[in-house]
Amino acid sequence: MSGFVDAAQLHAKAGNGGAGCISFRREAHVSKGGPDGGDGGRGGDIWLVADHNMASLLGFVEHPFRRATDGQNGTSKRQHGSRGRDLLVSVPVGTTVHTLDGEMLVDLAEPGDRWRAAEGGEGGMGNARFLSNKRRAPAFAEQGEFGEERWFNLELKLRADVALIGFPNVGKSTLISTVSAAKPKIADYPFTTLVPNLGVVRVGQRAGKPGEATEYVMADIPGLIEGAAEGRGLGHSFLRHVEHARVLCVLLDLSPTRPSDPDVQLSTLLDELGRYQPDLLERPRVVVGSKGDVSDAPYDGLVISAVTGEGVELLAAQLAERVAEARAAQSLEGLGRVVVHRPVSEEISAERTGEGWWRIHGRRAERAVRFQDLTDDGALAEAVARLRELGIDRLLQRAGARDGDVVEIGPVSFEWWRDEVGAGLDRGDHHRTTRRERRARRARDGAWPEDEPVVEDES
């Protein structure tokens, strides 16, 4: 397998929160002490960190799974569970994160940029948290929240100062091996280079005065062909590595075996760049003729030969000047700041899933009902108060819910009523319907096939 991988997948599973403890103080001479159950610890988060020591996404090919540790459960004597450790996942600088549908979420463009890929679940509160003047002995606690679990597509866009652009076998690999310590594969047939190569070029360094040298990173981008902007060949895989380059160095083949005249080559290459990303045509660029030692084509610009060294130092110096100008012109505003392309939504919404059936979406709503035992009257009253405070009743009314409709929030379901006494609850004995009973009701109403397999309620 190649040592360079620029596309991979990541499965991020944050840690689950620990459960709150139900406990009462029991000591000598204190037969009926108050509640003293501790809170559960929060689950660990998963963070992606842009690391300049990472060169590719190879580590995610065979091992895409990353998981943070869970929070510990609370215990008696108000002892809270320990928090799960966050997991820092290093990715190369220039990594972009996408959903499986292709939507970009974040671009980790600078060293040290961090982005939370999965948030750990909150720990549940112990029964000591629910002590009040009206509730002197709460016998319920919260369950820990599940951590987020998500799949992502990762793509790497190399961050080089200079990108070498040209048709296959134009001499890009030979050039980068001449001006830097890079050792790419070189042969006399097209598409020798299948993955980008990076090299560090030092210009102007004098003995005893290394501080006067100018350094820049050069990327040998695999050869482009006509139609690359539409994905022909490996066009998109190659072109994305040009996006972050400060300066473009366009090499034109002057040898007898050239694919076309130099002006036609330049026009074709610029056309492909413009169709892929129009602002690439506005980047500073240096156009140079390659293979000058065997040239037989008329060309008025700079001519080099990476084999004999003709014009190579002059080209390296010109590129250094362009890179210095581009660096000076680059605004410092926003450097080191992660740009999130799609913020996480905190809205609560109601979705009609069937006749008389509703599902509430939203993390805050799901957190409101995460009690260990909702058959406890105190826990049920607390959950109803939380839902009412979040405006779930008003949300369902505006959505068109009717009395007796079944509402599902996470693993919990209940019958909803609009009256003040039992809003959000079964009007009768506050009985939670099981999944078997709900499916039977659907079958009676003609909204569910009777032969549908029935799964027992998870509670």
- How does the average pLDDT of the chain come out, rounded? 81
**Three-class SS string for 394-444?**
HHHHHHCCCCCEEEEECCEEEEECCCCCCCCCCCCCCCCCCHHHHHHHHHH
Query: For the chain, what is the radius of gyration of the CA atoms?
Result: 32
Residue-level pLDDT at 152? 97
Phi/psi-derived region of residue 307, left when phi > 0, alpha when psi is between -120 and 50, beta in every other case: alpha
pLDDT digits (tens, 9 = 90+) for 143-158: 999 999 999 999 988 8
Look at phi and psi of residue 233 and say left if phi exceeds 0, alpha if psi is from -120 to 50, else beta: left
Q: What would the pLDDT profile of 171-181 be if each residue is shown by its tens digit?
A: 888 898 888 86
DSSP 181: S
Characterize the bridge pairing of strands 247-253 and 162-165: parallel
pTM of the model: 0.70
Mean per-residue pLDDT, 191-207 = 66
For the chain, how far is it from start to end, CA to CA, in angstroms?
A: 48
Domains and CATH numbers, the chain: 1-156 (2.70.210.12), 162-329 (3.40.50.300), 349-445 (3.30.300.350)
% of the chain beyond a pLDDT of 70: 78
Dist CA 199 CA 390 (whole Å) = 57
Distance separating alpha carbons of residues 243 and 102, to the nearest angstrom: 18
pLDDT tens for each residue of 15-73: 999 999 999 988 877 777 889 999 999 999 999 999 888 878 988 988 999 999 999 99
Q: Any bridge partners for residue 349, and if so which?
A: 361
Of 69-78, 213-222, 300-309, give the lowest mean pLDDT range.
213-222
pLDDT band (50, 70, 90) for residue 90? very high
